[in-house]
Amino acid sequence: MGTLSKRKGPPGGEEPDVEAALDELYVTPPAQFVARRAEMSAAAKTAGRAEDARRIGAARRPTLAAWAANLLLRSQPEESRRLLELGPALREAYHALDAAGIKELAEQRRRMVSALSRQAAQLARQAGHPLAPTAQQDVESTLRAVLADPEAADRWAEGRLEGALIPPSDFPTGTVPATATSRKPTASKAPTPSARTRPKDELAERRRQRQEQLDQARRTAEEAKQRLHDRRAEQADADNALQRARDRRDQAEQQASAAEQHLRQAREELQRADHEQQEAEERSRRSADALARAEREEHEAAREVKRLSGRKR
Protein backbone atom coordinates (compact mmCIF):
# COMPACT_ATOMS: atom_id res chain seq x y z
CA MET A 1 0.00 0.00 0.00
CA GLY A 2 1.26 3.48 -0.79
CA THR A 3 2.09 5.64 2.20
CA LEU A 4 2.24 9.39 2.22
CA SER A 5 5.72 10.79 1.64
CA LYS A 6 6.67 12.95 4.63
CA ARG A 7 9.95 14.49 3.54
CA LYS A 8 10.93 17.65 5.35
CA GLY A 9 13.53 20.29 4.62
CA PRO A 10 16.84 20.27 6.53
CA PRO A 11 17.29 22.11 9.83
CA GLY A 12 18.52 25.69 9.70
CA GLY A 13 22.13 26.08 8.62
CA GLU A 14 22.22 22.88 6.54
CA GLU A 15 22.21 22.63 2.76
CA PRO A 16 18.77 22.65 1.08
CA ASP A 17 17.17 19.22 0.62
CA VAL A 18 16.70 18.34 -3.05
CA GLU A 19 13.77 16.07 -2.14
CA ALA A 20 11.96 18.93 -0.43
CA ALA A 21 12.75 21.14 -3.41
CA LEU A 22 11.22 18.59 -5.79
CA ASP A 23 8.16 18.24 -3.55
CA GLU A 24 7.68 22.01 -3.71
CA LEU A 25 8.23 22.03 -7.47
CA TYR A 26 5.46 19.50 -8.14
CA VAL A 27 2.85 21.58 -6.30
CA THR A 28 3.92 24.70 -8.20
CA PRO A 29 1.19 25.64 -10.73
CA PRO A 30 2.14 24.33 -14.21
CA ALA A 31 2.25 27.86 -15.65
CA GLN A 32 5.01 28.75 -13.17
CA PHE A 33 6.73 25.35 -13.15
CA VAL A 34 9.40 26.02 -15.79
CA ALA A 35 10.54 29.33 -14.29
CA ARG A 36 10.62 27.88 -10.77
CA ARG A 37 12.52 24.80 -11.98
CA ALA A 38 15.15 27.01 -13.65
CA GLU A 39 15.45 29.12 -10.50
CA MET A 40 15.90 26.08 -8.24
CA SER A 41 18.35 24.38 -10.60
CA ALA A 42 20.45 27.55 -10.92
CA ALA A 43 20.51 27.99 -7.14
CA ALA A 44 21.69 24.40 -6.63
CA LYS A 45 24.35 24.81 -9.33
CA THR A 46 25.59 28.07 -7.81
CA ALA A 47 25.82 26.31 -4.44
CA GLY A 48 28.03 23.62 -5.98
CA ARG A 49 25.35 20.90 -5.85
CA ALA A 50 25.66 19.72 -9.45
CA GLU A 51 23.74 16.45 -8.97
CA ASP A 52 20.85 18.26 -7.26
CA ALA A 53 20.82 20.78 -10.11
CA ARG A 54 20.67 17.93 -12.63
CA ARG A 55 17.77 16.20 -10.84
CA ILE A 56 15.80 19.43 -10.55
CA GLY A 57 16.47 20.32 -14.18
CA ALA A 58 15.26 16.87 -15.29
CA ALA A 59 11.87 17.27 -13.55
CA ARG A 60 9.03 17.29 -16.07
CA ARG A 61 6.15 19.71 -15.81
CA PRO A 62 2.94 17.94 -14.69
CA THR A 63 -0.34 18.21 -16.51
CA LEU A 64 -2.98 20.34 -14.82
CA ALA A 65 -4.77 17.22 -13.52
CA ALA A 66 -1.54 15.68 -12.18
CA TRP A 67 -0.65 18.95 -10.46
CA ALA A 68 -4.10 19.08 -8.85
CA ALA A 69 -3.67 15.48 -7.62
CA ASN A 70 -0.25 16.36 -6.16
CA LEU A 71 -1.72 19.46 -4.53
CA LEU A 72 -4.56 17.38 -3.05
CA LEU A 73 -2.08 14.92 -1.53
CA ARG A 74 -0.03 17.68 0.12
CA SER A 75 -2.98 19.82 1.20
CA GLN A 76 -5.26 17.05 2.50
CA PRO A 77 -2.94 14.45 4.07
CA GLU A 78 -5.56 12.83 6.32
CA GLU A 79 -8.14 12.32 3.55
CA SER A 80 -5.39 11.12 1.22
CA ARG A 81 -4.22 8.58 3.80
CA ARG A 82 -7.75 7.18 4.12
CA LEU A 83 -7.97 6.77 0.35
CA LEU A 84 -4.64 4.93 0.30
CA GLU A 85 -5.89 2.62 3.07
CA LEU A 86 -9.19 1.92 1.30
CA GLY A 87 -7.49 0.53 -1.81
CA PRO A 88 -6.03 -2.65 -0.26
CA ALA A 89 -9.30 -3.40 1.54
CA LEU A 90 -11.27 -3.09 -1.68
CA ARG A 91 -8.82 -5.21 -3.66
CA GLU A 92 -8.84 -7.90 -0.96
CA ALA A 93 -12.65 -8.05 -0.93
CA TYR A 94 -12.74 -8.31 -4.72
CA HIS A 95 -10.21 -11.13 -4.88
CA ALA A 96 -11.97 -12.94 -2.02
CA LEU A 97 -15.28 -12.62 -3.92
CA ASP A 98 -16.84 -11.08 -0.82
CA ALA A 99 -20.09 -9.72 -2.26
CA ALA A 100 -21.14 -7.81 0.87
CA GLY A 101 -17.66 -6.37 1.39
CA ILE A 102 -17.37 -5.30 -2.24
CA LYS A 103 -20.73 -3.54 -2.17
CA GLU A 104 -19.95 -1.62 1.02
CA LEU A 105 -16.40 -0.69 0.03
CA ALA A 106 -17.39 0.24 -3.52
CA GLU A 107 -19.94 2.71 -2.16
CA GLN A 108 -17.29 4.12 0.16
CA ARG A 109 -14.93 4.40 -2.80
CA ARG A 110 -17.53 6.26 -4.86
CA ARG A 111 -18.08 8.78 -2.08
CA MET A 112 -14.37 9.31 -1.45
CA VAL A 113 -13.41 9.70 -5.11
CA SER A 114 -16.24 12.17 -5.64
CA ALA A 115 -15.39 14.19 -2.52
CA LEU A 116 -11.63 14.24 -3.12
CA SER A 117 -11.95 15.16 -6.78
CA ARG A 118 -14.14 18.11 -5.75
CA GLN A 119 -11.53 19.12 -3.17
CA ALA A 120 -8.80 18.93 -5.82
CA ALA A 121 -10.87 21.15 -8.11
CA GLN A 122 -11.43 23.64 -5.29
CA LEU A 123 -7.71 23.73 -4.44
CA ALA A 124 -6.84 24.31 -8.09
CA ARG A 125 -9.44 27.07 -8.36
CA GLN A 126 -8.12 28.75 -5.20
CA ALA A 127 -4.62 28.64 -6.70
CA GLY A 128 -5.91 30.49 -9.75
CA HIS A 129 -6.01 27.51 -12.14
CA PRO A 130 -9.56 26.08 -12.37
CA LEU A 131 -9.87 22.61 -13.86
CA ALA A 132 -11.62 22.05 -17.16
CA PRO A 133 -14.06 19.09 -17.29
CA THR A 134 -11.45 16.87 -18.98
CA ALA A 135 -8.89 17.68 -16.29
CA GLN A 136 -11.50 16.97 -13.60
CA GLN A 137 -12.13 13.56 -15.20
CA ASP A 138 -8.38 12.90 -15.21
CA VAL A 139 -8.24 13.62 -11.47
CA GLU A 140 -11.06 11.13 -10.86
CA SER A 141 -9.29 8.57 -13.07
CA THR A 142 -6.12 9.06 -11.01
CA LEU A 143 -7.95 8.52 -7.72
CA ARG A 144 -9.63 5.35 -9.05
CA ALA A 145 -6.25 4.08 -10.22
CA VAL A 146 -4.84 4.70 -6.73
CA LEU A 147 -7.56 2.44 -5.31
CA ALA A 148 -7.15 -0.26 -7.93
CA ASP A 149 -3.39 -0.49 -8.44
CA PRO A 150 -0.74 -0.65 -5.66
CA GLU A 151 1.89 0.76 -8.02
CA ALA A 152 -0.35 3.71 -8.86
CA ALA A 153 -0.95 4.25 -5.13
CA ASP A 154 2.81 4.37 -4.52
CA ARG A 155 3.31 6.86 -7.36
CA TRP A 156 0.60 9.19 -6.07
CA ALA A 157 1.88 8.89 -2.49
CA GLU A 158 5.20 10.32 -3.68
CA GLY A 159 3.39 13.52 -4.66
CA ARG A 160 5.26 13.94 -7.95
CA LEU A 161 2.84 12.83 -10.64
CA GLU A 162 3.57 14.17 -14.12
CA GLY A 163 0.43 12.83 -15.80
CA ALA A 164 -2.94 11.36 -14.90
CA LEU A 165 -3.07 7.70 -13.79
CA ILE A 166 -5.31 5.16 -15.50
CA PRO A 167 -7.04 2.39 -13.49
CA PRO A 168 -6.64 -1.18 -14.80
CA SER A 169 -9.56 -2.34 -16.94
CA ASP A 170 -10.02 -5.57 -14.99
CA PHE A 171 -10.79 -3.81 -11.69
CA PRO A 172 -14.50 -3.57 -10.76
CA THR A 173 -16.39 -0.33 -11.07
CA GLY A 174 -18.60 -1.13 -8.10
CA THR A 175 -20.61 -4.12 -9.28
CA VAL A 176 -20.34 -7.47 -7.56
CA PRO A 177 -18.53 -10.16 -9.59
CA ALA A 178 -20.84 -12.78 -11.01
CA THR A 179 -18.88 -15.49 -9.18
CA ALA A 180 -19.37 -13.85 -5.77
CA THR A 181 -21.98 -15.76 -3.73
CA SER A 182 -23.25 -15.99 -0.20
CA ARG A 183 -21.00 -19.06 0.20
CA LYS A 184 -23.98 -21.38 0.95
CA PRO A 185 -23.49 -24.68 -0.92
CA THR A 186 -26.40 -25.92 -2.99
CA ALA A 187 -26.82 -29.30 -4.59
CA SER A 188 -27.16 -29.31 -8.35
CA LYS A 189 -26.55 -31.61 -11.22
CA ALA A 190 -23.94 -30.77 -13.80
CA PRO A 191 -25.63 -29.80 -17.06
CA THR A 192 -25.21 -32.11 -19.97
CA PRO A 193 -23.72 -30.48 -23.08
CA SER A 194 -26.30 -30.14 -25.77
CA ALA A 195 -26.81 -28.48 -29.06
CA ARG A 196 -28.64 -25.64 -27.27
CA THR A 197 -25.81 -24.74 -24.81
CA ARG A 198 -22.99 -24.68 -27.36
CA PRO A 199 -24.28 -21.58 -29.22
CA LYS A 200 -24.57 -19.79 -25.88
CA ASP A 201 -20.96 -20.67 -25.07
CA GLU A 202 -19.84 -19.42 -28.47
CA LEU A 203 -21.79 -16.20 -28.01
CA ALA A 204 -20.24 -15.69 -24.58
CA GLU A 205 -16.77 -16.28 -26.04
CA ARG A 206 -17.38 -13.74 -28.79
CA ARG A 207 -18.60 -11.24 -26.24
CA ARG A 208 -15.53 -11.87 -24.10
CA GLN A 209 -13.25 -11.33 -27.09
CA ARG A 210 -15.06 -8.14 -28.04
CA GLN A 211 -14.75 -6.91 -24.45
CA GLU A 212 -11.02 -7.65 -24.48
CA GLN A 213 -10.66 -5.75 -27.75
CA LEU A 214 -12.65 -2.85 -26.32
CA ASP A 215 -10.53 -2.82 -23.17
CA GLN A 216 -7.35 -2.85 -25.24
CA ALA A 217 -8.67 -0.04 -27.44
CA ARG A 218 -9.52 2.00 -24.35
CA ARG A 219 -6.04 1.44 -22.90
CA THR A 220 -4.48 2.45 -26.21
CA ALA A 221 -6.67 5.56 -26.33
CA GLU A 222 -5.74 6.50 -22.75
CA GLU A 223 -2.05 6.00 -23.50
CA ALA A 224 -2.39 8.18 -26.60
CA LYS A 225 -4.21 10.79 -24.53
CA GLN A 226 -1.41 10.73 -21.95
CA ARG A 227 1.23 11.09 -24.67
CA LEU A 228 -0.73 14.04 -26.06
CA HIS A 229 -0.74 15.63 -22.59
CA ASP A 230 3.03 15.11 -22.36
CA ARG A 231 3.68 16.53 -25.82
CA ARG A 232 1.51 19.55 -25.05
CA ALA A 233 3.40 20.13 -21.81
CA GLU A 234 6.72 19.84 -23.65
CA GLN A 235 5.47 22.24 -26.32
CA ALA A 236 4.39 24.68 -23.63
CA ASP A 237 7.86 24.41 -22.06
CA ALA A 238 9.46 25.09 -25.44
CA ASP A 239 7.11 28.02 -26.09
CA ASN A 240 7.92 29.48 -22.69
CA ALA A 241 11.66 29.07 -23.31
CA LEU A 242 11.27 30.74 -26.72
CA GLN A 243 9.35 33.63 -25.19
CA ARG A 244 12.01 34.09 -22.50
CA ALA A 245 14.72 34.08 -25.17
CA ARG A 246 12.80 36.68 -27.16
CA ASP A 247 12.34 38.80 -24.05
CA ARG A 248 16.07 38.58 -23.29
CA ARG A 249 16.91 39.54 -26.88
CA ASP A 250 14.54 42.51 -26.75
CA GLN A 251 16.07 43.60 -23.47
CA ALA A 252 19.60 43.21 -24.86
CA GLU A 253 18.61 45.17 -27.96
CA GLN A 254 17.22 47.96 -25.81
CA GLN A 255 20.38 47.97 -23.71
CA ALA A 256 22.54 48.05 -26.86
CA SER A 257 20.49 50.93 -28.26
CA ALA A 258 20.82 52.82 -25.00
CA ALA A 259 24.56 52.11 -24.93
CA GLU A 260 24.92 53.38 -28.50
CA GLN A 261 23.02 56.54 -27.58
CA HIS A 262 25.26 57.03 -24.56
CA LEU A 263 28.31 56.44 -26.77
CA ARG A 264 27.13 59.06 -29.26
CA GLN A 265 26.53 61.52 -26.46
CA ALA A 266 29.94 60.74 -24.96
CA ARG A 267 31.65 61.29 -28.32
CA GLU A 268 29.85 64.59 -28.77
CA GLU A 269 30.89 65.59 -25.26
CA LEU A 270 34.46 64.54 -26.08
CA GLN A 271 34.45 66.70 -29.20
CA ARG A 272 33.20 69.69 -27.21
CA ALA A 273 35.82 69.05 -24.55
CA ASP A 274 38.55 68.81 -27.24
CA HIS A 275 37.41 72.12 -28.73
CA GLU A 276 37.32 73.80 -25.32
CA GLN A 277 40.77 72.39 -24.54
CA GLN A 278 42.18 73.77 -27.79
CA GLU A 279 40.70 77.19 -27.07
CA ALA A 280 42.05 77.11 -23.53
CA GLU A 281 45.49 76.09 -24.79
CA GLU A 282 45.45 79.00 -27.29
CA ARG A 283 44.44 81.41 -24.54
CA SER A 284 47.16 79.99 -22.34
CA ARG A 285 49.78 80.50 -25.07
CA ARG A 286 48.66 84.08 -25.71
CA SER A 287 48.68 84.80 -22.01
CA ALA A 288 52.16 83.29 -21.68
CA ASP A 289 53.44 85.44 -24.56
CA ALA A 290 51.91 88.56 -23.02
CA LEU A 291 53.44 87.67 -19.66
CA ALA A 292 56.86 87.21 -21.25
CA ARG A 293 56.60 90.57 -22.99
CA ALA A 294 55.52 92.26 -19.78
CA GLU A 295 58.45 90.71 -17.92
CA ARG A 296 60.90 91.90 -20.59
CA GLU A 297 59.39 95.36 -20.59
CA GLU A 298 59.53 95.53 -16.79
CA HIS A 299 63.14 94.33 -16.84
CA GLU A 300 64.16 96.91 -19.47
CA ALA A 301 62.37 99.69 -17.59
CA ALA A 302 64.18 98.78 -14.39
CA ARG A 303 67.53 98.83 -16.19
CA GLU A 304 66.73 102.25 -17.65
CA VAL A 305 65.84 103.60 -14.22
CA LYS A 306 69.09 102.28 -12.82
CA ARG A 307 71.14 103.75 -15.68
CA LEU A 308 69.62 107.17 -15.35
CA SER A 309 70.05 107.15 -11.60
CA GLY A 310 73.83 106.54 -12.03
CA ARG A 311 74.33 109.45 -14.43
CA LYS A 312 72.68 111.89 -12.04
CA ARG A 313 75.31 111.32 -9.39
* DSSP states of 160-200: --SS-----TTS-SSPPPTT---------PPPPP-TTHHHH
- pTM surpassing 0.75? no
Q: For residue 38, give the amino acid letter.
A: A
Question: Contact, 237 vs 61, CB < 8 A?
Answer: yes
Which pLDDT does position 97 carry in this prediction? Answer: 64
**Model pLDDT, residue 86:** 87
Model pLDDT, residue 245: 85
Confidence grade of residue 176 (pLDDT, cut at 50, 70, 90): very low
pLDDT, average across residues 23-29: 95
The pLDDT, as a whole number, for residue 44 is 94
Q: What is the pLDDT of residue 32?
A: 94
CB 148 within 8 A of CB 91: yes
| pLDDT digits 0-9 by tens, 38-55 | 999 999 999 999 999 999
What confidence category does residue 188 fall into, taking pLDDT thresholds of 50, 70 and 90?
A: very low
DSSP assignment of 23-89: HHHTTS-HHHHHHHHHHHHHHHHHTT-HHHHHHHHHPPPPPHHHHHHHHHHHH-HHHHHHHHHHHHH
Which residue type occupies 137? Q
- Whether residue 84 contacts residue 37, with contact meaning beta carbons closer than 8 Å, is answered with no
